[in-house]
Amino acid sequence: QITLKESGPTLVKPTQTLTLTCTFSGFSLSTSGVGVGWIRQPPGKALEWLALIYWDDDKRYSPSLKSRLTITKDTSKNQVVLTMTNMDPVDTATYYCAHRGYSSLGWFDPWGQGTLVTVSS
Amino acid sequence: AIQLTQSPSSLSASVGDRVTITCRASQGISSALAWYQQKPGKAPKLLIYDASSLESGVPSRFSGSGSGTDFTLTISSLQPEDFATYYCQQFNNYLTFGPGTKVDIK
């Protein structure tokens, strides 16, 4: 059974850097084709893809947020870390990490439960 | 960047109704489309991938069709547990989600 869980601060101040950790089980991020992505959802709004890291350490970022994002993995710890710089109140959202299986061409299944991050002074 | 639009943005339906949701891409994406269901306070759940492939464990009343720029999610007979928001997602060029369609009780 694949599970993922996001962790990190619930409140960050404007201009600060957000660091979120996705801890997963049930799969290995060293398996060919596998990836872990980050997606966020502002309250009452739609989903927005942020970043994706693959088993071979290849990384993809949303073009609109690329300058602010860094995604890394620690295969030995079964963790993926997302950092987002220069946080703003508009970045208030629930942040999800999700599994991209080896047979997937781009869909995510399953997702973590999400963690709500509020940006406020 | 590829943009996705969904219609309608919301709809009201009754149990047993046939429901159709449309997703349109700003450029052709072949069959690189997935559909998710999201209930309030919960993470999205994969329903359909590759435009028409039913994810394991998803009821057969859900079906997807389309290719290129126009796609459809159909629920053949709406059940009480189907009231939720539905999102399409393209993975042809980077990843993009649609704005969502909320299905509520009539």
pLDDT tens digits along A62-111: 999 999 999 999 999 999 999 999 999 999 999 999 999 878 889 999 99
Taking a C-beta distance cutoff of 8 angstroms, is the pair A80, A59 a contact?
no
Phi, psi of B23 (to 5 degrees): -130, 130
- What is the reported pLDDT for A105? 84
Single-letter code of the amino acid located at B32:
A
- CA of A105: how far to CAs of A22, A66, B10, B89, in Å? 21, 21, 29, 12
Chain B residue nearest residue A48, CA to CA: B97
Contact list, B90 vs chain A (CB under 8 Å): 106
Contact between B82 and B35 under an 8 Å Cβ cutoff? The reply is no
Q: What is the DSSP letter of B15?
A: T
Task: Provide the token pair at A104.
Answer: 């997937």
Start-to-end Cα distance in chain B: 36
DSSP single-letter state for residue A111: B
Q: For chain A, what percent of residues have pLDDT higher than 90?
A: 95
B94·A96 Cβ contact <8 A? no
Question: Has residue B106 got a pLDDT over 90?
Answer: no
Q: Is the pLDDT of residue A60 over 90?
A: yes
For B43, the closest of A96, A104, A105 (CB atoms) is: A96
| Residues of chain B contacting residue A52, judged by C-beta atoms under 8 Å apart | 95
Average the pLDDT over B5-21 and give the result.
Answer: 97
Q: Which residues of B touch A114 (CB under 8 A)?
A: 43
Cα distance between residue B28 and residue B2, in whole Å:
9
Q: How many residues does chain A have?
A: 121
Mean pLDDT (whole number) for B86-101: 96
What torsion, rounded to 10 degrees, do the Cα atoms A60, A109, B95, A63 define?
-40
Q: Indicate the residue of B91, B98, B99 with minimum beta-carbon distance to A105.
A: B91
User: Is B44–A111 a contact, with Cβ atoms under 8 angstroms apart?
Assistant: yes
